[in-house]
């Protein structure tokens, strides 16, 4: 009997050990599977973790590159019924590019360059002819081109977090400092500059501007950018072009340049 009982006890003990080992193996396997699932989940939700850690919901990156198509619309202001060369202009197109540093999710500092300009038009009755009566040099014609190539530094404050928190649109306010290399050229872009009294009408001058716009998020690191920016460049020089002015009221025929910059671009986060 003892041998039989002893044998049965050994079999029962072995069975318990096997069950215990199987239970432990199952627990360890489930734990491993759970850990693996947690790792996969963490990988798939890495965007949420980054945004939660940095607080950058609109711009989950620090640097970005932007390229834009620009359309410059000249602002022609008639002063005391006297038109100047800057008033005989029509819209011109070009492009710009910049690098943006997002100091905060809603604040960015950008630096870039723009290449554009205006063509001249003779659509004011006799005004171009009146200017040419006082112009000492080759006459002003519709073939002339005002080249506007410049550098800019902008500070942009994004308002979407407050105004449109649940929208893809992210409106902003923008202010900028400008530095332009400009010239009144004879026959289209990159031709020789027009001269007055053997002095080329060209220069490099500072300017500034203010604008509004909005981004539209198309992907986590990609936004469309639509901007309307008013710019003013100090191209006029009454000392340099002394005498190039109206005999009626001494209003100068070459003055400062200001325009609207309507641009559409793509911003890519790095």
Tokens of 208: 């500034």
Q: How far apart are CA 71 and CA 73, in angstroms?
A: 6
Q: pLDDT tens digit string along 99-109? A: 999 999 999 99
112 CB neighbour count, 10 Å cutoff:
19
Its domain, for residue 69, covers 56-269
Contact 101, 110 (CB under 8 A): yes
214 CB neighbour count, 10 Å cutoff:
20
Is there a single domain that holds both residue 152 and residue 101? yes
Q: pLDDT tens digit string along 163-196? A: 999 999 999 999 999 999 999 999 999 999 999 9
Q: pLDDT tens digit string along 214-266? A: 999 999 999 999 999 999 999 998 888 888 988 888 889 999 999 999 999 99
Sequence length of the chain is 270
Is there a single domain that holds both residue 97 and residue 34? no
Is there a single domain that holds both residue 101 and residue 232? yes
Q: Within 110-212, where are the H helices?
A: 127-133, 160-163
Evaluate whether residue 120 is within a structural domain. yes
Evaluate whether residue 49 is within a structural domain. no
Bigger pLDDT: 177 vs 198? 177
Is there a single domain that holds both residue 182 and residue 78? yes
Tokens of 124: 């004011």
User: What DSSP line would sit under 34-52, residue for residue?
Assistant: HHHHHHHHHHHTHHHHHHH
Evaluate whether residue 50 is within a structural domain. no
* Confidence band of 53 (pLDDT split at 50, 70, 90): low
Calculate the average pLDDT of the chain. Answer: 84
The b/e string for 177-194 (b: 16+ C-beta within 10 A; e otherwise) is: ebebebbbbbeebeeebb
CATH number of the domain where residue 96 is located:
2.40.160.20
* Confidence band of 7 (pLDDT split at 50, 70, 90): very low
Mean pLDDT of 62-85: 89
Bigger pLDDT: 15 vs 268? 268
Is there a single domain that holds both residue 14 and residue 99? no
126: left (phi over 0), alpha (psi -120 to 50) or beta: left
Contact 36, 195 (CB under 8 A): no
* Confidence band of 82 (pLDDT split at 50, 70, 90): confident
- Is the pLDDT at 48 greater than 90? The verdict is no
Is there a single domain that holds both residue 31 and residue 77? no
Is there a single domain that holds both residue 18 and residue 67? no
pLDDT, position 248: 86
pTM for the whole thing?
0.77
């Amino acid at each position: 009997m003892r041998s039989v009982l002893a044998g049965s006890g050994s079999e029962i003990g072995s069975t318990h050990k096997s069950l215990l080992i199987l239970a432990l193996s199952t627990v360890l396997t489930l734990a491993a599977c759970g850990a693996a699932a947690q790792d996969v989940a963490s990988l798939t939700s890495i965007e949420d973790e980054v945004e939660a850690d940095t607080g950058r919901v609109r711009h989950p990156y620090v640097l970005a590159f932007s390229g834009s198509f620009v359309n410059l619309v000249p602002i022609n202001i008639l002063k005391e019924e006297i038109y100047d060369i800057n008033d005989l202009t029509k819209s011109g197109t070009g492009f710009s590019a910049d690098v943006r540093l997002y100091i905060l999710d809603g604040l960015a500092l950008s630096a870039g360059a723009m290449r554009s300009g205006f063509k001249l038009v003779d659509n004011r009755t006799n005004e171009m002819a009146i200017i040419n009566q006082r112009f000492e040099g080759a006459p002003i014609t519709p073939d002339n081109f005002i080249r506007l190539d410049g550098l800019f530094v902008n500070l942009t404050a994004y308002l979407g977090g407050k105004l449109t928190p649940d929208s893809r649109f992210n409106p902003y306010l923008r202010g900028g400092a400008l530095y332009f290399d400009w010239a009144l050229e004879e026959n289209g872009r990159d031709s020789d500059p027009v001269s007055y009294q053997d002095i080329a009408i060209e220069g490099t001058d500072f300017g500034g501007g203010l604008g509004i716009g909005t981004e539209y998020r198309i992907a986590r690191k990609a936004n469309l950018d639509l901007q309307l920016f008013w710019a003013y460049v100090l191209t006029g020089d009454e000392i340099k072009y002394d005498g190039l002015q109206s005999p009626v009221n001494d209003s100068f025929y070459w003055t400062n340049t200001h325009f609207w910059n309507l641009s559409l671009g793509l911003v890519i986060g790095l």
